[in-house]
Amino acid sequence: MDQTVSSYLPLFLEGEVIKGFGRGSKDLGCPTANYPLDVVKKLPSEFKPGVYYGWAQLDSGPMYKMVANIGYCPYYQNKEMSVETHIIHAFEKDFYGSNLRIAIVGYLRGEMNFDSLNELIETIKQDIVNAGKSLENPESQKLKSNIFFGKP
């Protein structure tokens, strides 16, 4: 892992889930939970945009694996940095307004631009697989019970 990245991980973020651009579910088949800009602005100044993995908790519910794009989404040319978290779980309904806590455990890759929407979708699918595998290691597993999630 990049030395700069490892200096601020694990990183813990918390905030209310807000409506994003609506691209995750509609365009990509990969729904995301989005934080408001005030949460994004709490990232360390040296934070490297990219795709990260870790743990997510909605309100006081169970822990789920997650993968998050943190950056500018070059394919969509966002003007402001965003944190878009895909919780690796099938939910029956939206959870806007819920409190989302995430522990960012590791770094998968830097942000990339893509020649096609299909190429972006295939890369996201692989990111999800890679995140799931990475979260099986013992160091990653320990963070599931961090006090941040209300579990001593």
Residues tagged active-site:
84
In whole angstroms, give the CA distance from residue 134 to residue 111.
18
In whole angstroms, give the CA distance from residue 10 to residue 68.
13
Token pair, residue 120, equals 């972006």
Q: CA nearest 63: which of 73, 53, 72, 54?
A: 54
Q: How far is CA 75 from CA 78, 118, 137, in A?
A: 8, 12, 31
Residue 137 region by backbone torsions, left for phi larger than 0, else alpha for psi between -120 and 50, else beta: beta
